[in-house]
Amino acid sequence: MMQFDQQQKEAQLRQLVDDVLREAVRQGASSAEVAARSDMGLSATVRLGEPETIEHTRDNSLSISVYFGHHKGTASTAELSGEAIHEAVSAACAIAKHTAEDEYAGLADAALMATEFPDLELYHPWDLDIQQALGLAVECESAARDYDPRISNSEGATLNTGEAVGVYGNTHGFLHGYPSSHHSLSCSVIAQQGDSMQRDYWYSTARSSAALAEAADIGERAAQRALARLNGRKLKTRQAPVLFRAETAAGLFNNLVHAISGSALYRRASFLLDALDTAIFPQWVNVEENPYLIQGLSSAAFDAEGVATKRRDLVADGILKSYVLGSYSARKLGLQTTGNAGGVRNLSIAMGDQDFAALLKTMDTGLVVTELMGQGVNQITGDYSRGASGFWVENGEIQYPVEEITIAGNLKTMFRQLVAVGNDDDYPGSIRTGSWLIESMMIAGE
Amino acid sequence: MLEIVEQQLLTPAGLEQRHLDHVLDHLLGHQIDFADIYFQSSRLEAWTLEDGIVKEGAYSIEQGAGIRAISGEKTGFAYTDELQLPNLIQAADTARAIARAGQNRSIAVTAAGREQQLYGATNPLDTLSRDTKVELLQQVEQEARSQDVRVSQVIANLVAAYELVLVAGSDGVLRSDIRPLVRMNVHVIVEQDGRREQGTAGAGGRTTLEFFSRDNRGLELARDAVRQALVNLSAVDAPAGAMPVVLGAGWPGVLLHEAVGHGLEGDFNRKGTSAFAGRLGERVASPLCTVVDDGTLAERRGSLNMDDEGTATQQTVLIEKGVLKGYMQDKHNASLMGVMTTGNGRRESYAHLPMPRMTNTYMLAGEQDPAEIIASVDRGLYAVNFGGGQVDITSGKFVFSASEAYLIENGKVGSPVKGATLIGNGPEVMNRISMVGNDLQLDPGIGVCGKEGQSVPVGVGQPTLKIDELTIGGTV
């Protein structure tokens, strides 16, 4: 099915990026940077055992930033014809004539460009035809539907497979690219009992098909999750300990990363201003970023500006050791870029020795959160208020599912009141963490 | 309009109408019941002001064609960013392969509708010079800073988009649309004694950028964002628990979008996955509630002359006096359910499949004076501004997050409270609406709706209304 000659594609994109950089300079840019990418993929969805959609994806993109001194202009195109590229370059240059002089604008320093490009094993194409893709999706969905008679309906199962080549170049002479692949299998089913109807899902995602979870296991887990939610109750409004199940704890990580990212800091739009080298977690907390994880979902040897990425501690012994910066925000803050233009890469928290059951015992009485709803996080103040569902726990054991409640607190306090991190990191994604037990939060319900 | 769009979209690729017929013929006859080709070309320009200067401008180009082939309940889809005939044929070959997978069931797709012209066809990128766009943002910044010395940061964005769309369907549809869209957003941070808070305001619609200079609308946004930020500076902790909630008119209509809107999209109801499935004709809300989806409002952000399947948009009554009247449909779901499409088939771009989506969703005005509604509450919350929301259409649970709210005490609006998430169950909450104001207002034109990874612009609206009990996610 796939006819993606990645070597040829990479050579084409390198040539294109190089041509575009030259054109930008010809139009008067003092410096420029260009990223180009081609994606190709297949998405097959089945529902109730029958094929529902087959989508063939094929996307191209090119984005350019030009600098005329410290005046910046950017443009992008999702079409790689000569005309479109010419239009994009001209527009970027025209825009740069109207933006204000910004002394912090420009490429990252040439001395910081990556020089080593280890093979991180990110490219594992999957030679899968449509029938095979549908077959895996059917296997996944069937496992969910056959799991229990209360699984009454399905939103289907989807097999996604895709590969891409990305190239980045700038007028420092940096020009590098690499191919990558991504595959996923997901399933979403509905459990019904009496008047209660609940939907839940599970999925697996990986760089190589071999690293995907078994189709049947994904389906069964989706079914178990939907069934566990049946006949949920509301809680009385109260203060109680909250255990964020690993998949929701990863969301707290995202709030942390946002708060220590350069753009939030220089805008003074973060609840962690001036927190560098101060304790933001209890002393036993350590958080690491590792861009060099083999087959990692966010691995890369260079960031979106060509800067070499580094393995480092974000948090050591509870103390914030590094912000998350690209070159622009770093200059604004009088600091050095941390090679995080484009985001963080493979975060993990040092996990404790308690599994999920042990964490329940430690909590004794409180709320397990398995799903969060809405965007009720104020990144400026840290105020946190989100819809939640999960389970009520007494005597260290799950009593019943709960829903239609909110949990509220302040992230700064929640981080300091982290009681334990479990070793139950059994969910997919580039953030590795177990469940987080927070000492106390306000739960609103009836 | 068709001629203009054909000239700009098809002619440069050497395409004529007969080529489209050729591609559609190529698609049909292989157990394919329906097929369509969606051409799209768009240009977008965005400017950003921050730290007192317009530091960024971005221009983006998107162009391509999506080809969809439907066989019973199955859909095959492929797209290309190269519009030449051989690329279209190749995409068509790929899309029609769906017919070979699984069972086949035949359906008949029909749609039509009048031609309508709800907004101008002027390219909003061109009506103001780049210098004027930059000046506009600078004026907004100065207006915000001049409001109060506590303003520490102003971030303002100005976005203009211009999109050409052409749809050719095997049901004989050949229609085009020219879609301008503009938007301005102002985000203000204020700081006092080490406490920092924010306020945001935005507006827009399917019109030109003069929308923001006319009547000083841009400056008004700056003042409103500062006002909101200062209110939040004195906000006390929000209450936790269930109590009466009065929602202001306009943008708080995000309530309807989440509590009932998504649950009434045809696909979820055909599949029986929505809490509203199979409930047509039943009472699902208080008799005070009449809720419509209306894509025909002039120059509104959620409006479209035609949907992305070439069907004219319309006003669809979803709930009438509390009774569920209809779902929102696209061609595929409508034909599978044996009803007509309602012109709600929308897609993010040529690279995405269409599905039933909202346009402008709002509740009609009631009879109450808004002041009476507030006066009727002993202790509760008055929420006038919101961030986003989310719904689980299967359980009916939904949330939306207040960004400007006040306590009501003894029938009077009191202290502002910090932002909090409100949570409820769609059908239950709609039944607890006990008062509806006479002050229907639509939102200022800022809504973005996400569904299955696709974003589309939408509108919401409502009069002031009272919900007898809703859970508020505060901390005290």
**Is B26 exposed, middle or buried (CB count within 10 Å of its CB: 0-12, 13-18, 19+)?**
middle
**Contact across the interface for A153 and B476, Cβ inside 8 Å:** no
Half-sphere exposure (Cβ direction) of A135: Cα atoms closer than 13 Å: 5
Residue B388 has pLDDT above 90, yes or no: no
Contact A194, A173 (CB under 8 A): no
Cα distance between the two ends of chain A: 54
**Sheet strands (E) in A171-262:** 175-193, 196-206, 238-244
pLDDT in tens, B108-160: 666 667 889 999 999 999 999 999 999 999 999 999 999 999 999 999 999 99
**Contact across the interface for B94 and A56, Cβ inside 8 Å:** yes
Contact B251, B446 (CB under 8 A): yes
| Rounded CA separation B353/B150 (Å) | 47
Three-state SS letters, B250-315: CHHHHHHHHHHHHHHEHHHHHCCCCCCCCCCCCECCCCCCCEEEECCCCCCCCCCCECCCCCECCE
For residue B146, what are its two tokens? 């001049």
Beta strand A238-244 pairing with A366-373 = parallel
Task: Provide the pLDDT confidence category of residue B58 given band limits of 50, 70 and 90.
Answer: very high
**Contact across the interface for A378 and B198, Cβ inside 8 Å:** yes
| Rounded CA separation A96/B465 (Å) | 48
- What's the whole-number mean pLDDT along residues A167-195? 97
Task: Provide the pLDDT confidence category of residue A388 given band limits of 50, 70 and 90.
Answer: very high
| Rounded CA separation B245/B382 (Å) | 6
Task: Kindly give the residue spans of alpha helices, DSSP state H, lying in A241-364.
Answer: 246-259, 262-266, 327-333, 356-363
Task: Scan residues 83-112 of A and list those with Cβ closer than 8 Å to B.
Answer: 84, 87-88, 91-92, 94-102, 105
| Rounded CA separation B211/B242 (Å) | 41
> A88: closest CA among A60, A59, A58, A62?
A62
- What's the whole-number mean pLDDT along residues B354-376? 98
Residue A162 has pLDDT above 80, yes or no: yes
pTM over 0.90: yes
**Contact across the interface for A385 and B238, Cβ inside 8 Å:** yes
Beta strand A151-170 pairing with A175-193 = antiparallel
What does the mean pLDDT of chain B come to? 95
Residues in chain B: 476
- Percent of chain B predicted with pLDDT > 70: 98
Contact A261, A273 (CB under 8 A): no
| Rounded CA separation A429/A225 (Å) | 18
> B346: closest CA among B388, B303, B300?
B303
Kindly list the distances between the CA atom of residue A26 and the CA atoms of A29, A84, A167, in Å, as whole numbers in the listed order: 7, 17, 21
- Percent of chain B predicted with pLDDT > 90: 91
Contact A188, A162 (CB under 8 A): no
Residue A87's SS3 state is helix
pLDDT in tens, B62-114: 999 999 999 999 999 999 999 999 999 999 999 998 877 766 666 666 666 78
Q: Residue B386 pairs with which residues in a beta bridge?
A: B402
Contact B343, B306 (CB under 8 A): yes
| Rounded CA separation B118/B177 (Å) | 11
Measured in angstroms, the CA of A42 and the nearest CA of chain B are apart by 10
Least confident of A345-359, B85-99, B362-376, B411-425: B85-99
| Rounded CA separation B391/B265 (Å) | 13
Q: Does B131 touch chain A (CB under 8 A)?
A: yes
Contact A277, A334 (CB under 8 A): no
For residue B252, what are its two tokens? 């708080």
- What's the whole-number mean pLDDT along residues B181-186? 98
**Contact across the interface for A98 and B54, Cβ inside 8 Å:** yes
Task: Scan residues 399-418 of A and list those with Cβ closer than 8 Å to B.
Answer: 403-410
Three-state SS letters, chain B: CHHHHHHHHHHHHCCCHHHHHHHHHHHCCCCCCEEEEEEEEEEEEEEEEECCEEEEEEEEEEEEEEEEEEECCEEEEEEECCCCHHHHHHHHHHHHHHHHCCCCCCCCCCCCCCCCCCCCCCCCCCCCCHHHHHHHHHHHHHHHHHHCCCEEEEEEEEEEEEEEEEEEECCCCEEEEEEEEEEEEEEEEEEECCEEEEEEEEEEECCCCHHHHHHHHHHHHHHHHHHHHHHHHCCECCCEEEEEEEECCCHHHHHHHHHHHHHHEHHHHHCCCCCCCCCCCCECCCCCCCEEEECCCCCCCCCCCECCCCCECCEEEEEECCEECCCECCHHHHHHHCCCCCCCEECCCCCCCCEECCCEEEECCCCECHHHHHHCCCEEEEEEEEEEEEECCCCCEEEEEEEEEEEEECCEEEEEECCEEEEEEHHHHHHCEEEEECCCEECCCCEEEEECCEEEEEEEEECCEEEEEEEEECCC
> B102: closest CA among A46, A50, A159?
A50
| Rounded CA separation A370/A348 (Å) | 20
Measured in angstroms, the CA of B377 and the nearest CA of chain A are apart by 18
**CB neighbours of residue B149 within 10 Å:** 10
**Contact across the interface for B472 and A75, Cβ inside 8 Å:** no
| Rounded CA separation A73/B246 (Å) | 45
Which among B130, B423, B425, B448 is the top mutation candidate for probing chain A, defined by the most A β-carbons within 10 Å of its own β-carbon?
Answer: B423
- To the nearest 10°, report the CA torsion of A362, A367, A372, A378: -80
Which pLDDT score is estimated for B303? 98
| Rounded CA separation B85/B107 (Å) | 28
| Rounded CA separation A175/A173 (Å) | 6
Which pLDDT score is estimated for B29? 74
**CB neighbours of residue A325 within 10 Å:** 25
pLDDT in tens, A64-119: 999 999 999 999 999 999 999 999 999 999 999 999 999 999 999 999 999 999 99
Residue among B57, B64, B353 whose CB faces A73 most closely: B57
Which pLDDT score is estimated for B28? 85
Q: Longest Cα pair distance anywhere in chain A, in angstroms?
A: 72
**Contact across the interface for A98 and B131, Cβ inside 8 Å:** yes
For residue B187, what are its two tokens? 């985000």
Contact B96, B90 (CB under 8 A): no
| Rounded CA separation B117/B175 (Å) | 13
Which pLDDT score is estimated for A3? 54
Q: Would you give the DSSP letter of residue A118?
A: -
Helix axes B17-27, B85-96, angle to 10 degrees: 20
- What's the whole-number mean pLDDT along residues B279-292? 97
Which residues of B fall within a CB distance of 8 Å from A24? none
Q: Does B191 touch chain A (CB under 8 A)?
A: yes
Q: Would you give the DSSP letter of residue A115?
A: -
Q: What is the DSSP string of A340-407?
A: -TT----EEE---S--HHHHHHHH-SEEEEEEEES--B-TTT-EEEEEEEEEEEETTEEEEEEEEEEE
Residue tagged 């101060």 (tokens): A278
Which pLDDT score is estimated for B109? 67
Task: Provide the pLDDT confidence category of residue A1 given band limits of 50, 70 and 90.
Answer: very low
- What's the whole-number mean pLDDT along residues A178-185? 97
Contact A397, A209 (CB under 8 A): no
Residue B345 has pLDDT above 70, yes or no: yes
- What's the whole-number mean pLDDT along residues A371-399? 96
Kindly list the distances between the CA atom of residue B208 and the CA atoms of A351, B124, B215, B219, B348, in Å, as whole numbers in the listed order: 54, 5, 14, 17, 21
Task: Provide the pLDDT confidence category of residue A320 given band limits of 50, 70 and 90.
Answer: very high
Q: Residue B165 pairs with which residues in a beta bridge?
A: B40, B177
Q: Does A387 touch chain B (CB under 8 A)?
A: yes
Residue A186's SS3 state is strand
**Contact across the interface for B73 and A50, Cβ inside 8 Å:** yes
- To the nearest 10°, report the CA torsion of B121, B125, B126, B131: 150
